[in-house]
Structures are given as C-alpha cells and as structure tokens.
Structure 1
Amino acid sequence: MKDFTTDLREPFIPKVETDMSRRYLMVMQRWIPVCMEYFQEWPDRPNCGHFFSGVYWYGSETAGPLKVLSLTISSPEYDEDVVGFSKKELVDAAVKALRYLCFTHDTGPEDCVRPAEGLGRPELCRTKWGERGKGFFRESQCGRNVANITTAALILRRYLDDETWTMVANICADYLDRFGDMPPRSGVYANTQMEENAWTSLGLAASYLFLSRHENARRWEENAKRWMFCTATVPQDMFNHRKFDGKLTVSQLCGLTFTALPDFMAENHGFVHPSYTASAIYFTGLVGNMYRIYGRKEPKHVYWHRQDFYDNLKRLCDSTGSPHPVQGMDWPYLTPRCFLHTSAYLYLRDPDAGYYERVALDLLEKIQLGNKGRMVDPEVASRCHDQQDPLILRELGIVSVADAYLAHRLFAEEEKVKPTSPKEIAEKFRGVKVYPHSGFVFHKHGRGQTSFSWRNYIMALPLTREGLLTIGPSAPRHGLPSLLGKVSVREHPESQKLVSINVKEEGDRFVATLVNDVSQESVRQEVLFASLPDGKVVSLETFTALKECTVEKVEQGYLQITNENFPCIEGNCNGFRRLYYPGGSETFKGFPGRTPDEDIFFTLESPGWLNVDDRVGIIFQGSGRTVYHNRHYFRPPSSPYHAIADDLILSVQDKPKKYRAGEIVAKLTLVLYPEQPHRETERMRFTEVLSGGKALGLMVDDYLCVGNFGEVGRYTFKLRREETVPIFPGITTIKRNGVSYTIHLGAGEGKICEPGAFIETKGENLKVEYTDCGGLYLINEGEETVDVHLRKGKEKMQIKVKAKETVKVIL
C-alpha cells in the first residue's frame, strides 16, 4: 500500500503566522503541558505511546493531541518557553502516539489492543479502535481521526519510518474499503444524517488524498463528492434541475437523500440541535483544510447550502458566538465554537463570521487562562459527570482550536473580508424570524434574544445580551423544558399532541398561542406567549384536566441559571448568583460537589417577584411554591454536567391530587425582563384581563397581550380604570369604574395591542373606536358633555364631546 501514497514530502502550509493564527497557537501551546501530563509509553510495540490512558471512543484520546502537537511543531513561531518542552520532545511524543494508533487500529496486529485499564469507558479497554463490525455510525465516525492521523503523518513525514507510513496507508485503505463505494445516507427527523455524512466525507477525503496514486483514487473522490454534497440537502433539492457539476443536476446528486429540515436546521437526539446543524459548516472547513494541505482546492460540493445554514446559525448567535439552543441542549454549552465561525469566515468569506469568531476566541482564551491552561476546570473534571464520562476527556475540545489554527495558516497569504463591527451586528439581526418546519420563532432585541418552540420540546428561552453565560438552555431530554411547564399524571404515561399553534410575527415582536394535549390527552396545556419590542417576555400558561386523573407533579417557569466561576471574565461568572425577592436576598455559590447532600433547596411561597443577580427580573403569579435549587452534584441520568448551573422553578406543585374533567390543574402568569436591576423589578406590575369566553390577556406597561383559545369572535376585556387610558385598535369603552376593550380575535389567534393614542377624561360612558388604519372616533353615549384630553406621540388636543355626539378625530 505504501507505493500508492502521496509523494508530497511536507504539507502545503505557508510558513507564516497571522494575528489570528498566533492567538490559536498560544492556546495550543498553553495546553500542551496538560496533554503531556497524560502521556504514557506503551510497551507492547517499540517507540509507542498514548495520551489520556489510550482508551476512548474511536482513538480520539490520542489522535486529538497528536494533531495538536503536530501543528504546533509546524509553527515558525514555536515558543519553547511557553510550552515547556523542546520541539524534539514533542516530535518524539507525536511519533509514538501515531504508531500507537496504527498498531491498535483494526488493521494492526491482532494482539495489539488498547490497555486493560484507562480513563475512558471500561467497555473499550482491551479492544481495537476502527469499530469493525459495529455498524455504520461507529465505523464511519472514525473518519475524523483518520483525518487527524493523516494530517499529522504528512507534517511528521521526515520523522517517520517506512513501517509507520505504511500502517497509516493501511488505515486509509481500510476506510476506503468500507465506505469508498457506499452512497450517502438520508435522515432528517429525530436524528439527522448531516454529521454522519460529513465525517464520512472527511474520512474518505483524508484517505484518498493520502493514497492519491492508487488507481481507484479518482473513483473514490467522485463518490466522496456526493457525500459532501449530501451533508447539507433539504427536500426542495429534489425539484432543482440546475446542472451542478457539469454532469449531474442538483436533483440527481441529491436523489432522495435529505439531512435537514426545509428551513435549513437539523435535529439530532430528538430536537432541533444547533451543534449538529453547525456540522454542515464545521466539516466544510475540515474538508477544505484537508484538500489544501495537499495543495488542492476543495470541491464545490462542500459548499452546497452551507451559506443557508450559516445564515440561520449566525442569526441565532448570542454575544459569545454560541447559537441559541431553541429546544434545549444535551452537551456542555459553554464551549466556545470558534471553528464554526472560522470555517464560515475563511471558506464562505462571511464577514459576520469574522466578528463571531473573534468573540468566541476571546471567551475561549479567558476560560483557558482561568483554568491555567486547561480546557476544563480540573475540579469540575474530577467531580462532575456527563453522559460521555470521564469529563477529563472534554479536554479534547482543543482539537477544534488546532483546526482553526490550521485554517488561518492556510489562508495566511489570501485576502480576507473585513469582519463586521459589533454595532453592525447588533443592528443587522435585530427582529423576528419564524422557522415553521423546525417549529420555533426567534426574536433578537436590544436586551438579548428570545425563542419560543412548539416542536419536540415545547419551551421558551429568554437570554440577556450576555447569552448563555447567564441563563442556560435547559436540558428537557433529562429534565425540564425552559420556562414552560411539565406535568406528571399517575394514570397516564407522557405524550404530546399539538392541537393548534398560531404565531403572529411583526418586525420587532411576536405573539404565539399554543394548545397541546399531554399525558395521553388527559391534560390540556394552553399557552399565550409574547416577546415585546423592549425584550419583555409575557407568558400565561394553564393546565386543565380533560378527563378524571391524578396529577402527581407540575413544574412551571423553569430557568437554568449559569453559575460558573471563570476568573478572567469580568462582571459575570464570578462563582455566585444572588437571588433578590420581597424582603431580602440570598447568595448561592457555584461549585462542583461530591454528594447530593451538598445541593441547597431554597423555597419561597408566592413571592410575587424575583430578580437574579440584577440581570433578570421576573414578576409572576403561580399556583405552586417557588424553588431555587443551588446545584452542586452533577451525575447522569437525571443531572448530567453541562455547566455549573442552578435551577429556578417559579411554580412547583408536588402533592398528588385528583382532578375532574374541566378543572384547572395549574396556572402560571409571568412577565420577565432581561437586564433589569432588582429595584426596578420591585416596582414592575402586570394586570391580568379576562373575557367571558376562552380569551385571556395581560396588560404590561402600555401593551395589551391577548389570546383566544375559543371560537372566532369579538371579545371584551375588562380592566380597572386608571387616570390615563390607552386606546387600542378596536373599541374602548370608558365607564365610571372601569375600562373595557372589545377586540376581534380569530380562533387560536394572539395579538399584541399597542396603543395608538392615550385619553385622559373625568367623564364616563365614552366609547372610542380606533381602526387599524388609524381612524379614531369618540362616541359619547352619556347624557353630559365629556372633556377629552387626547395624546398621540407629541401631538395633543382637547376635545369636547356632547351628549350622544360622535366626533371623528383627525390626527
């Protein structure tokens, strides 16, 4: 197989650094002492060694550090004083790691298996990697490390003997033998094939580029191009008959292979998942890097729809460059996603990606400095557990830093677009966008961003401008959905049936009404949810029994409160959160514990308002007690580690109770205001308004948010009369002791009513008709003249309306 390998003596990596590559290089150099701490010799074959005990999925524990060492060695600005090791020491370790991976791969000698004990999963000990016979998912996933190995081998070629070089070739031939002629796979719902097609295309590219003199190399490449193309395909592609590559049309390339929803999002693990959607962009960069180190240009297939996907992701990004987890997150979520944006910036030439890459890298640098060179706080790694234990292997996130470093080296001599400025970013993505196939609506405003989801996990996630550093995404797969409720019924297992969803979007706001039957249609969930122009969130949620049942537990208004300690991040993540409530405050420290007994539960009975750390203000009224769970114990399955974070639940009912059909089980009404100091939260108020039918609403400031869960019709909402009366589209009736608003609502419709004018009057029996097109009529139904002070914006006027008179007002 050696005779078929590339004749390159070294990779095509420019021997220069850039401002960005230097930053990534410094992160890698600070990290190398960490990985060298976990380096061990492997005695089973000469000149071999491994990292992190040599046992983990797909050989990643050693292949990742191998790539980092190799790329760091390649730098013309390698700094031995920072690293603490000479280049020769790193070359020796890298060669040993490469040989270990070759011997313990499926193609190596049968007796060469991984150690009997290690940090990794026990079932992987005494086995080979390569996953032969374990099915497409596991076998193809080795493509990532085939790419890492071939990249390292090309960099280290002058240090490798024929035996090692040939073993690398055998690994490539083995991957091509399994997947070189296989067609790409299709899958959209629940578990996308996007990432699997992506890593297979990468493994194929790495293999045939390494074996570029093989007679089948061209055939393998043509097949791999379809894997690249079908990494990011959507159903509408089957109707696109444009010629794509001079031979085949889009429709022919796609066939019936789809990996994403029609609105360019991907779901995995049963929900719309930003990490897996990002794989379309991530692997564009990886495949591009692979081609370019061989002096070749990546195929156009690797760009198909990538801009469409990145356009969604960048819109969803918070201030740290992390895409908004609209339906939750089941992985650690404070891992800066630099390479996502590196790929988009360099390969897609997207200037917005240049901005987001820099903010993500800034966060990464600060986290690493606070952890003294590590990617994960060692105390967290030793005490916390996630679904892919041990947590120490989260250190392998460094590999994406190496990928970003390589990309910037490869583009060092190319002209790049100027990154978008922070001010431009703030303005560019402000507004509302609905994703009908993914099942969510997203609003970016001046104080942060808010999402509402009605598919997979029904939840809402309001973030401040600090993003996930303050409020976490929740993990409904393991626990509660964010903000909206969850009910447990004794007689009936969980289920959901979406009865109706209505979303009304405007430029700077949205309102949604949702009806969802849960627990085998024994309980109905009705939600009115609005996101206002200034970022306030309004939510009215009711659970009603549809049949006689025993409700064991209801939890509503859940927020995950990030409580990390990042010493180098100023003003946030200081290792504590302060909860303000009527009459006092409590401080909750954030740290990893060893036992469940270290968790603290703080309970309040109907506090009325809360404020988290002068960052989030909430006024609310619920049917249960309020619980702040200061969490220190993180263990799957119920509480796997995703970050050091606490749980705030506004309303908890956990005493089993039997309900008859038609009885209200639980109700929570709330207004949440991002970036609000607690002194302002104390003064905040809302007024709940009801009608005679199934319509309800909330008056917040001068906005009237209403929703109709009944039939189409005109609904009248009654409020207490105030000195100043806002006038909304529809009919306003001013009586002596109250005001009523009559509004036309369709079945299942929600509205955010904004006042078109304000009236002050001491009179009564005054009806005001305000049309959608701005016409305003004052109708005096009483027996006496009414003096009206009318204000609209800066325009003011005084009007006398005689008894039984109608006055048309021109504004």
Structure 2
Amino acid sequence: MEFTPVTEVLPVPPVRWENAGDNELASRIYRILLRWLPFANEQFGEWDGRPECGHFFGGHFWYCSDTTSVSLVYAIMAKLGNYDEGVTGIPREEIQARAIRGIRYAGFTHDTGPEDCVRVEGVLSYTSGKKWGGRGDNFFMASQNGRSVASLCHAAWLLWEELDDETRLIVQNVAVSYADRWSGEEPRNGAYYDTQCEENAWTSMGIAAAVALLPGHPHHAEWVKGFMQWSISSVTTFRDRLADPSGLIDTPLANRVKTVTFHPDMTTENHAFVHPSYLCAGTNLRALHATFSLLGGQPIIETALHNNVELYERTVRVWSQFDGLAVPVQGQDWWYNRQHERQLTHTVLNVLHGHRDAALLERAALGSIERIQASNPRGCLLEENGETCVINAAHAQYAKDLEPGSALDLATSFLLHTFGGLGAEPSGRQEFAWRMSGVHHYPYGCTTVYRTPEAFTSFSWRNNVMALTLPRKGLWTVTPLYASYTGTVEFEVSRGVQGLSNEHIIRDVDRSRISLLNDGFGAAVSISRGDRELLQHAAFVALPDGSSVYFENWEVLRSCRVKEISTGLIGVRNDSYSAMPELAPGTRTVYLPEGEAVFQGFYGKEPNRIVSFGSIPYLNVDNEIGYLLYGSQEVRYLNKHEYPKWKGVEDILTLNYREPLELSESGPGALEPFVAVSLPNRTREQTAEAYRQSALLSSGEEAGPALLETGGYLVYAYHGSIPVEARAQKQAQGRCVLSVYEGNGRLASGKWNWRNKVEPLTAGYYKARYRMELEAGPQTDLEWSLHGNRLLLLNHGSQMVKLRLQPAGGEREEGGSWEERELAPGGYLVYEREG
C-alpha cells in the first residue's frame, strides 16, 4: 500500500487502566526497573532540533531503539506501579517529561518527520546524523524498525492524554507508514543458516502498533490481514505448510502460511547455528501484540501465539538450566547472561499459555537478574563498566548499548503481568528436573541432549561441532565454546576454504552416527581439518550418571605443518558478582594431583596469562567438575583478560595441547589417541578416587575400538567400517571386584578379558549388570557370558571358585545385596536377574 500521511490526529482507543493489577511478579520486575532508572537517567541528553525533545544512551543506536525502548520504560514508570522516588531520586514528573521528550525525538527523526530532523552525531557512520525508519534500506534493515515502532507506540499510548496533538500526529504517521509499507508484502522463508522467524516477527510487531492504535483508519482491515500473515509465518514448520497448501498461482487469500522457518524438530538456525536467542525471537517479539491487546482490552489474535507451546516444550524448557537460562547447545556469540531475554520467553508462556514450567523458570530467571543487578552499584542490568565490554565494535555495540534492549524485555514482561495476571502455579523445581531428565534428540538441528537432575550433556554434529558437559551450576561453571572438546587446529599455511576448513570452528563432519541409548547417547564422527590434510576421529558418550567420555584419534591424509592443536577445550566461567558469590566468586581454582592453581577473573587491566600443567592424569575445577586424562600431551589454562568480543569473563582450559608438528602422509601418519572423562559435581578427592578406579583398556588391535572402564561403565568408540569383535584386557590378581558387562568375559592367568561385537562407526557404553568379588589365583579360570538378564558362569579351572555376586547399579547407584556362590571344577551356574 502507498503511505498517505495522516494530517489530523485520529481517535485512539483508551487504555483500559481498570484492568491493570498488581501481583508478585509484576512487582519484582517493577523494582528492577526502579533500580535501573538512575543509571538510565544519566544517559539522557537534550536535543535542540525541535522543542521539548531528548534521547537516551546517545540517541544514535541502530533503528533508534535506544531512545524508543527507554521511552517505553519511562512511560511505564510514569503511569503504572508503585513508583518510589526514594529509590530513584528522580521526581515522577521528570520521568514523564523525559518519556515524552524521547517520543518526540524519535518521531521527528523518523523518515516521516521533517527532513531537517536527523539523529545526533555518533560513532556509527550508518546512523550518525541520519534518519531512521528504513527508507532506502534492504528488507532486513528496513523491516527491523518494527521493534522501535512498537516501542514508540506503546510509550505514546500510555501517555496519550499527556501528549499534545503535534506529538500524537508524528507518532501516528510513524505507525501508519510502517503498516502501509509492510502489510501487503509476503513474509520471508528460511530455516537454515539464517531463519526468517525473527524478521517475520519484528515485521508483525510494527504492523501491530497501527492495528492497535488506529482501528478507525481506512487501511485497518489490510493491516490486520498483514499482521496475521506475518505473525503466523514467524514460527512455522513443514507441517504448517502442508496444512495450509497453495499452488503456484494462488491468490493472496488462498492461504495464510507460505513459510517454513523451523526444522521439524523445532530447532532453527541463525548466525549459521542453532541459537536460543533466535529460537525464541518469534515468541518474544510477537508478545508485543499481546501487550497492545491487553492494554486496549481486546482479544489476542491467535496467529501471534502460533506454535509457541510446541517450540517451548521441545527446546527451550528442555535446555533451561536452574536459573532459567537456555543452554546454547551450539555455542553463543552474544553475551552469556541472557536471562532478561529468556525471562520474557518464560513470561509469555506463563501468562498467555498458563504453562507451569514457564512459571517456575520465569521466577528463576528473575532471581538471577535481581542478583546481577544487585552486584552493580549503578543498577546496570548487564555490566557495571559496560562501555568497555566490546560486543561488536564494527557495529558500535558494547554492553552498555544493549542495556535498553534488556530493559525492554523486562518492561514487556511487566505489561504482560500487570494487564494479564500472575500466570500459572509454578511446577516444583525437583519434579521439573526429573521430568526433563533423559535423552532429547534433534535430528534436523543435529544435536542430542542428555539430562539428569544435576548435569547437562550434549553433542552437536553440524554448524558448530562440539560437546558439552555441565555440572549443576551449568553455564556459571562451564561455557559453550564453539569447539568445546573437539578443539581447534592451526596450520602453518591455511589452504582450506575459509569458513569450511574446520580449523577454529567445525561446521560439519565427513561421517556421523548417533546412538540413542536408554540413559545417555553415543556419538561417533570423523572430521576433516584444513584442506583435507588431517582427519580427526572423535567420539563422545553421555553416561547415565551425568558424566561423559570424549575419545579422539587422528589420521594424516596429506603432509602438513601444524602450529598447534588444542583439543579437549573447556570454557571456564570466571565472572565476579558480589551478590552471587556461590556462582560468580571471581576466582577459579584448578586442583592438580599435586598442588593447585588459583586464577583471578576480571576484564582488562592485565594481559592474558597462560599456565602449563604439563602432562597430568587428572584435575578438578573448583570442586565442581573433574577431568580424567589419558594420552594428554600437555594441559594448559588460559587466564583470559583481553576480549576482542566480550561474552563474560571466560577462561579456557585445554586438556590436550600439542606444540608445532610436521606431519607426513607417508609416516608416522598418526597422532597419539586422547581420552577425557568428565565428572560433573565431583570434588578434587572424588576425582582422584575416580582416576584410581578407572582404566583405559587395551584392545589388542591398533585400529580396534577404544575402550575405557569408569564408574561401573565400559565405554567404547569405534570408527572402523566393518563390524568387529571388541576385546579388552586388564590385570586382575588377588582379591578383586570385577564388573560384569554384556558380552563374554574370562578371568584366567591373572588377567580379566572381555569381548563383544561392535558395529561400525559407533560409540556407546555397557553398564555393569553385576559385580563379582573373588580371589583370583594362579589356577583360577572362570568364564562367563551375559546376554540380557541371563548370566552363565563356567569354572574351567582345577579348583573350587568361591565368589560373591551382586546386581550392580552405576558408580553412585545402590546395587542389590551380595549372594555367596560356589562353583566346583567343571561346574556352571546360571543366574537370572529380574527386570
């Protein structure tokens, strides 16, 4: 539609103030915003382009979102809630006046405003001294103004009775111009690399503003139609497309859904990987239509809620840790403390869908937000010195610049609770943790997750090929590096295609097999590095008790020189927040077999520091997670203070560092294998004991399966192309306790042997089904076979064998009672376990 400027103020529906109510969650959010106001007020600046105008946070950020977001917060604080000048030190009249100044600045500097009204000069050349609104921009940049249009119109509507006609008119023109421009356009399509969920959703936001404020406008029916088209198209899968089909020459009225923005497993990609922020973009952005509807006492159009619940239940809540933050299973390229954004997601599901798990997680996220803010004397939501925390220097994005967006998320949640109520009764924390436990598989997003009530394990085999094992404190202890565990390779000469060479970020694998087990999973992959110079065979096994095992070995495909190989990469969070010392104490202690090392966490002030621990068998970080190491060449700890891109204070632990190497395809052609066992929620003492009780077992064949026994599990990884019989062996003499695994075993000549068939390209585990205690003497020759629940024992020796047999659990599970048994020479015993 062609935009026709509004020349006289049109009627606007009244805000239904009588529907506003107070409740626990609305009050908590309001108090957070109260404490934030003094900091935000410092960021106000007057603008002399027109009378009574001003801006926030510089007034020159992308899409004018700095000023429109804060203006909405100010409008809320001026009109709603129990405002406390004792907390802010700012008269409420000043809050209202500055909200109006922000509204006027945004309206005058918009494309529809006078040509001489442009934004103030700033550091970003694209926005400095220019208008906003999207005139002349491509779809991505032009449509993104929908966020700011919605914020501006919310603020203006709350203060409509206090605005003069000039201000009302410029706001109405902003809304009409956006709705006219985009209502007749088709939503965009795409789920790979860069989902169009976000773009479609923010476009619907801008249109929603005109729909709510101007029901009497002659274009209103077209706006409603456009809003419904864009909003329903934000979160769609092939199922939506098939349920609402169209032909090649269909008319605009023939169907509503013309997009696929999500994979069938409800994952989607942005910035080239599965990204929690963008998974939730449709839910969060479309919530602005809900707040418009609640303010006006109108029903919420169902297209704004489409697929919210399925998306939430299959991904967001499954990945949410104790503080409501969703674990980024393929890494994070924004800052780690995204609680404000996730809090809004949980609020939407709580208030608009009555979701009890969301009610629990929203409260958890708010708790972290309150404590982070309490750690910042200035009341900041992100970082106290946010102007020094670089997020994207080229786009003039520092932590301080992202404060308005975090405040906007809180403001949206406040409006939802104030006009929509408290929401559902929250689930119980422990009950929720148990319910989320188990294996969650995402074949299209290429990620598998295994949860226990106190640990989180995942593996991703596309986009960012990486693994995670998190203890109960989650991302506050371990962070999701892009190449977590799988590591980085730096060649002396990089010959591969940039972005596809799998050197620092691993985008794909040559081969993969994911085995979903009852309580865990096994992943086996082969990764080409560089210009197919190296082939890394990696495997990752999630065990029932929350621990994991990582295997790797290498082939040299082409001669090359390598500067360094760093695998077994572990991100270590080292933030300092005074109000949450149990999560962010500002130090990390690495406990070694002999001694310990303490690392201070802070941003800037000093250069990075690298400490080498040499080749060690195990270590523990802060009594929160332990690592057992087999074949490690060198363990290094990078105490990081210099951040070209800030996510939080994040150190890097390298479990297997290799110095410069010259590798030849003609020989030796391989690197030593490396294995790491991760033990979440273990102390230094428990880690040491686990090392004494674990063993990397010999298979007797160089190309055979890798086998490791730990904690009552026999873990294997095999990258061969044909089935083989895996064999394991270890010493067993004197009084010993042996675990009995699926397959065939024998105790003879002072050695324990095990064998079983293993499929090609596979990784997994056998859980000990029984424990057997006996005296292993020179004449002992005991054979057994375990298949299903049936255990057969045969005494091939010349002496009586006396043993104690016990049904076994995992390392930290209770087993059954011991039973005394005897086998005469040549005798046998059949033992069948129930269940």
- Offset at residue 287 of structure 1 (A): 1.9
**Aligned 8 A contact 2:570 2:652 in 1:** yes
Alignment map for 1:455-474 (pairs within 5 Å): 455-474=462-481
Aligned to 1:434: 441
Aligned to 1:392: 400
Cα distance in 1 for partners of 2:686, 2:719 equals 33
**2:611 is aligned with what amino acid?**
F
State the SS of the aligned residue for 2:58: helix
**2:524 is aligned with what amino acid?**
T
Aligned to 1:780: 795
Q: Does 1:502 align with 2:510?
A: no
Aligned to 2:604: 593
**Aligned 8 A contact 1:565 1:590 in 2:** yes
Task: Indicate how the Cα distance of structure 1 residues 717 and 351 shifts in structure 2: closer, same or farther if over 3 A, else same.
Answer: same
Cα distance in 1 for partners of 2:292, 2:804 equals 72
State the SS of the aligned residue for 1:634: coil
Task: Indicate how the Cα distance of structure 1 residues 380 and 542 shifts in structure 2: closer, same or farther if over 3 A, else same.
Answer: farther
State the SS of the aligned residue for 2:570: strand
Aligned to 1:333: 336
Moved more, 797-806 or 725-734: 797-806
**Aligned 8 A contact 1:483 1:557 in 2:** yes
Cα distance in 2 for partners of 1:810, 1:249 equals 67
Please tell me the root mean square deviation across aligned C-alpha atoms, in Å.
2.3
Aligned with residue 24 of structure 1, among 17, 25, 29: 29
| Deviations 1:163-213, CA, capped at 9 Å, x for gaps | 111111111121123211001100110110011111111111112322321
Moved more, 793-802 or 457-466: 793-802
Aligned with residue 627 of structure 2, among 591, 614, 618: 618
Aligned with residue 637 of structure 2, among 628, 632, 637: 628
Cα distance in 2 for partners of 1:368, 1:574 equals 15
Cα distance in 1 for partners of 2:152, 2:443 equals 41
State the SS of the aligned residue for 1:215: coil
| Deviations 1:31-60, CA, capped at 9 Å, x for gaps | 111111111110121111111121100001
Cα distance in 2 for partners of 1:338, 1:438 equals 24
- Offset at residue 666 of structure 1 (A): 5.3
Aligned to 2:206: 203
Structure 1 unmatched runs, 5+: none
Cα distance in 2 for partners of 1:97, 1:134 equals 24
Cα distance in 2 for partners of 1:383, 1:443 equals 34
Q: Does 1:194 align with 2:194?
A: no
Q: Does 1:137 align with 2:107?
A: no
Aligned with residue 167 of structure 1, among 149, 170, 178: 170
Aligned to 1:14: 19
**1:305 is aligned with what amino acid?**
N
Aligned to 2:383: 377
Cα distance in 1 for partners of 2:632, 2:685 equals 25
Q: Does 1:701 align with 2:711?
A: yes
Task: Indicate how the Cα distance of structure 1 residues 783 and 436 shifts in structure 2: closer, same or farther if over 3 A, else same.
Answer: same
Moved more, 561-570 or 13-22: 13-22
Cα distance in 2 for partners of 1:743, 1:486 equals 34
Cα distance in 1 for partners of 2:92, 2:363 equals 29
Aligned with residue 830 of structure 2, among 790, 803, 808: 808
**Aligned 8 A contact 1:335 1:364 in 2:** no
Task: Indicate how the Cα distance of structure 1 residues 95 and 466 shifts in structure 2: closer, same or farther if over 3 A, else same.
Answer: same
Q: Does 1:754 align with 2:767?
A: yes
Moved more, 486-495 or 174-183: 486-495
Aligned to 1:214: 217
Aligned to 1:446: 453
Aligned with residue 740 of structure 1, among 749, 753, 764: 753
Task: Indicate how the Cα distance of structure 1 residues 339 and 385 shifts in structure 2: closer, same or farther if over 3 A, else same.
Answer: closer
Aligned to 2:266: 264
Question: How high is the TM-score relative to the length of structure 2?
Answer: 0.91
Q: Does 1:688 align with 2:710?
A: no
Cα distance in 2 for partners of 1:729, 1:390 equals 55
Task: Indicate how the Cα distance of structure 1 residues 110 and 740 shifts in structure 2: closer, same or farther if over 3 A, else same.
Answer: same
State the SS of the aligned residue for 2:576: coil
**Aligned 8 A contact 2:359 2:423 in 1:** no
Aligned with residue 664 of structure 2, among 645, 654, 659: 659
Cα distance in 1 for partners of 2:726, 2:252 equals 54
Aligned with residue 783 of structure 2, among 767, 771, 778: 767
| Deviations 1:671-705, CA, capped at 9 Å, x for gaps | 11112111222222231124224311111022101
Structure 2 unmatched runs, 5+: 1-5, 808-814
Aligned to 2:38: 33
Moved more, 533-542 or 92-101: 533-542
Task: Indicate how the Cα distance of structure 1 residues 90 and 369 shifts in structure 2: closer, same or farther if over 3 A, else same.
Answer: same
Aligned to 1:367: 372
Aligned to 2:810: none
Q: How many residues align?
A: 791
| Deviations 1:482-507, CA, capped at 9 Å, x for gaps | 12222233353214652332222234
| Deviations 1:567-624, CA, capped at 9 Å, x for gaps | 1114221111111112211221111115xx5222111111222211111111113443
Moved more, 26-35 or 567-576: 567-576
Aligned to 2:812: none
**2:469 is aligned with what amino acid?**
P
- Offset at residue 13 of structure 1 (A): 6.5
- Offset at residue 380 of structure 1 (A): 4.6
Cα distance in 1 for partners of 2:219, 2:24 equals 41
| Deviations 1:345-389, CA, capped at 9 Å, x for gaps | 011211000000001001101111111211133335335454552
| Deviations 1:185-243, CA, capped at 9 Å, x for gaps | 00110110011111111111112322321112112211221211111111233333699
Moved more, 181-190 or 736-745: 736-745
Q: Does 1:291 align with 2:293?
A: yes
Task: Indicate how the Cα distance of structure 1 residues 380 and 201 shifts in structure 2: closer, same or farther if over 3 A, else same.
Answer: closer
- Offset at residue 465 of structure 1 (A): 1.6
Aligned to 2:615: 606
Cα distance in 2 for partners of 1:370, 1:608 equals 38
Aligned to 1:66: 71
Alignment map for 1:140-151 (pairs within 5 Å): 140-151=143-154
Task: Indicate how the Cα distance of structure 1 residues 319 and 294 shifts in structure 2: closer, same or farther if over 3 A, else same.
Answer: same
Aligned to 1:712: 723
Task: Indicate how the Cα distance of structure 1 residues 559 and 810 shifts in structure 2: closer, same or farther if over 3 A, else same.
Answer: closer
Task: Indicate how the Cα distance of structure 1 residues 164 and 510 shifts in structure 2: closer, same or farther if over 3 A, else same.
Answer: same
Task: Indicate how the Cα distance of structure 1 residues 782 and 134 shifts in structure 2: closer, same or farther if over 3 A, else same.
Answer: same
Alignment map for 1:175-190 (pairs within 5 Å): 175-190=178-193
State the SS of the aligned residue for 1:124: coil
Q: Does 1:525 align with 2:536?
A: yes
Moved more, 488-497 or 648-657: 488-497
- Offset at residue 99 of structure 1 (A): 0.7
- Offset at residue 547 of structure 1 (A): 2.6
- Offset at residue 283 of structure 1 (A): 2.4
Q: Once the two structures are aligned, what percentage of the paired residues are identical?
A: 27
Q: Does 1:545 align with 2:556?
A: yes
